[in-house]
Amino acid sequence: MTLIIPKSSVKMQDRTLFTHDKLVISQNKIIGIVGRNGVGKTTFLNNIASIIKKKDNESYSYVQQLLENTNPISGGEKVKTALLRAFDTRSDILLLDEPSANLDEKHCKWLIQKLYKFEGIILMVSHDIAFLNLANEIWLINNNKLKVYTGNYESYIKLRKKDEEKRDQIYKNQQRQIKHLKNEIIKRKQRAYRLKKGNGKRMTNSEKKASGRTSHDGMERKMQAGAKAIEKRIVRMDLVHKVVTHKPIKFIEIHKELYLRKTILKMKETVKSFV
């Protein structure tokens, strides 16, 4: 079985959240969908559910994320019940939105085993590293685009780091080029100004030589046109955005020695690790 998601734009009302190319998912694929809050991960899952619903030969189960104000105990039971129902229906495709959010450690381990043995396609939005490491593809939603990384979450981190280093170098090279072009614009406008004023004392030797055959007005127009041409060249550039990295929160054990002026968060207990 193969699931095909056509090239599309994912929207929230009239606002485009991100775009993606045609996506092809084969049997036994586990897709981990990642991105910062608000980029459109849940909306994307809803869209995929709508696509599958229109197909007669494919069945799916969708376990949606519970509301944040759900009681943790009852929430965990509700999620477990929904997951059991999803596995019992023997669907071809599982759609999971933060499936571990309300589960305790015991049930998280149970779910990991169930997902590992599942024979079908899984598309999963999660911040839980243990679950994302089950994936054999990571789909990153970032800068209004979706990018596919082959491998689990650990592989994705390494590949993304290489991508960011490459993009950072391209960004720096482009910024150097733009700076050079802007300096050239300034020089041409300054030359045009001197030609317009006809101040021979401030003209360079090359300008004096050129003015022997061409009028000052003609040279001034030529310099202004050259400056405008460079400005248009900059505008037409496909600009590379600066790479923005987000430092992860470091969790410190409560009983360990705390260092002066370095502790920003102190927690009594942690259950899971998140990205």
Residue 255 counted as domain residue? no
Number of domains in the chain: 2
Same structural domain, 88 and 202? no
Residue type for position 97: D
Same structural domain, 91 and 208? no
Domain range holding 205? 165-236
Q: Hey, how many other C-beta atoms are within 10 angstroms of the C-beta on 60?
A: 21
- Whether 4 has a pLDDT exceeding 90, the answer reads yes
Same structural domain, 170 and 50? no
State the pLDDT at residue 211. Answer: 53
Same structural domain, 26 and 118? yes
What average pLDDT does the segment 37-60 reach? 90
What average pLDDT does the segment 205-228 reach? 70
Same structural domain, 121 and 192? no
Same structural domain, 109 and 221? no
As given in the structure block, the two tokens for residue 47 are: 């869209």
Residue 159 counted as domain residue? no
State the pLDDT at residue 147. Answer: 95
Same structural domain, 224 and 139? no
CA distances from 105 to 59, 91, 145, 229, 273 (A): 30, 26, 33, 63, 11
What average pLDDT does the segment 251-262 reach? 48
Residue 249: band (very low, low, confident or very high) from pLDDT cuts 50, 70, 90? very low
Which of residues 13 and 75 earns the better pLDDT score?
A: 13
